[in-house]
Amino acid sequence: MPARAAKSALGGTLFLEDGTRFDGEGLGATARRVGEVVFTTGMVGYPESLTDPSFRGQILTFTYPLIGNYGVPSNDLDADGLPRLESGEVQPRGVVVRGTTAPNHWQSERTLDDWLRAERVPGVRGVDTRRLTEHLRSKGVVRGVVDVGPLDDRPSDEELAKSIRAAPQYGEENFMAEVAPARPTLIVRRGGPVVAALDCGIKASIVRALLDRGVSVLRLPYDHEVPAKWEGRRVAGLLIGNGPGDPSELGPTIEELARPSTRAFPTLGICLGQQLIALARGATTFKLKYGHRGQNKTIYFSDGRALIVSENHGYAVDPASLADTGLDVWATNPDDGTLEGLRDSGGRVLALQGHPEGHPGPQEAGFVFDRFVQKVKRRA
């Protein structure tokens, strides 16, 4: 086992709004940040998780006990201008881990501690993350605060509780200004059809999954009108990907998805995208008790197949609200019965709550992209 990283001279504290406190060592930046405390069950893929925009505004707990063993790779831009990880920065406001290890990997450029410090993100290590996860599963997701500062000057419970009370609720925050693009960008694959992506904080690997299939991608701000043409090229399909926050708060996106001309496109919704498609058709969403986050989530399709997929979501579509929407249940979660997939009877809409790009994680759900691209090419 790799040697443990050198002990920090800083103290780290996670304090929950229900009064539960976890003290440990400081990791990353010296700072205090408030956010919604969530956990992910993935054993690998921490660089991808930490750059996933869906974690914006949250404090991310890793249930796997040793994080950092393969370090942090380069996150420079590739030939298409996409970051090699899921976005160009660390997205959570805080990080909680049981322990860290010294990295050992040929692609590693720095340690997790160095990365978090450079990104000005505070973290706590040495926390009993099993106890924390059991607490969140029992009580539900709560807000909390991560504080990293001098070891001999830890803040009081009341001081930390005051920080939480002064911060906005997670569902009230507008994250789009932080994760959505400010202007449209076209990434070209010569000869390929154009798919518009309403970008609410989409992962780079979703865009890359389309590019790898020969599709050009037009990334649009979340509140942009989906055009019929762009730079003289016909738009042949629509993608709505993942992103942070309460889907019901994204009124401009929901309104755009409800427009008849936008509904005419072959459409693929992923994660938040599934929820937004459902809302645009008149369905409702609700907040899960503690969400689904990890690479080991089972989904069961209506034809009897079961797949393991990567997921990161705290909201879900209410199946009871689908009447008169034109949408049918395509997949469900066998553990808690939540809705995992949608499609319409006309074959124009496909939506999956999980992540078919599967990065990190299994690749078997990639057939969803294949089906979508086939529909797009028939329209092009």
Task: Give the model's pLDDT for residue 123.
Answer: 98
Cα distances (Å, whole numbers) of residue 145 to 154, 236, 284, 347: 13, 45, 30, 45
- Contact between 141 and 4 (Cβ < 8 Å): no
Give dist(CA 124, CA 13) in Å, integer: 6
Tokens at 75, concatenated: 């996150």
360 preceded by cis ω (within 30°)?
Answer: yes
Mean pLDDT on 339-350: 95
Residues sharing a CB contact under 8 Å with residue 131, sequence separation 6 or more, in sequence order: none
pLDDT band at 100 (very low <50, low <70, confident <90, very high): very high
Task: Give the model's pLDDT for residue 364.
Answer: 77
Task: Give the model's pLDDT for residue 358.
Answer: 76
User: Is residue 343's pLDDT more than 70?
Assistant: yes
Domain 176-379 has CATH 2.40.50.140: no
Mean pLDDT on 316-338: 97
Tokens at 153, concatenated: 């000057």
Residues 36-54 pLDDT 10s: 999 999 898 999 999 999 9
pLDDT band at 257 (very low <50, low <70, confident <90, very high): very high
pLDDT band at 380 (very low <50, low <70, confident <90, very high): confident
Task: Give the model's pLDDT for residue 295.
Answer: 87
Residue showing tokens 């800083």: 10
Torsion of CA 141, 318, 241, 120, to 10 degrees: -10
User: Is residue 360's pLDDT more than 70?
Assistant: no
Residues 219-234 pLDDT 10s: 999 999 999 999 999 9
Residues 362-372 pLDDT 10s: 677 899 999 99
Neighbours of 358 (CB within 10 A): 19
Residues sharing a CB contact under 8 Å with residue 116, sequence separation 6 or more, in sequence order: 27, 28, 29, 90, 95, 122, 123
Cα distances (Å, whole numbers) of residue 114 to 59, 73, 119, 333: 18, 12, 9, 38
- Contact between 272 and 306 (Cβ < 8 Å): no
Percent of the chain at pLDDT exceeding 70: 97
Give dist(CA 59, CA 143) in Å, integer: 8
Q: What does the domain layout of the chain look like in residue ranges?
A: 10-172, 176-379
- Contact between 283 and 317 (Cβ < 8 Å): yes
User: Is residue 128's pLDDT more than 50?
Assistant: yes
Domains 10-172 and 176-379 share a fold: no
User: Is residue 361's pLDDT more than 70?
Assistant: no
Q: In CATH, what is the architecture of 10-172?
A: 3-Layer(bba) Sandwich (3.50)
Which residues are tagged catalytic? 271, 355, 357
Query: Mean pLDDT, the chain, as a whole number?
Result: 95
- DSSP annotation of 248 reads G
- Using DSSP's 3-state secondary structure scheme, residue 145 falls into strand
User: Is residue 3's pLDDT more than 70?
Assistant: no
Residues 107-116 pLDDT 10s: 999 999 999 9
Mean pLDDT on 339-345: 96
Mean pLDDT on 149-168: 97
Task: Give the model's pLDDT for residue 29.
Answer: 98
- Contact between 380 and 236 (Cβ < 8 Å): yes
Task: Give the model's pLDDT for residue 5.
Answer: 45
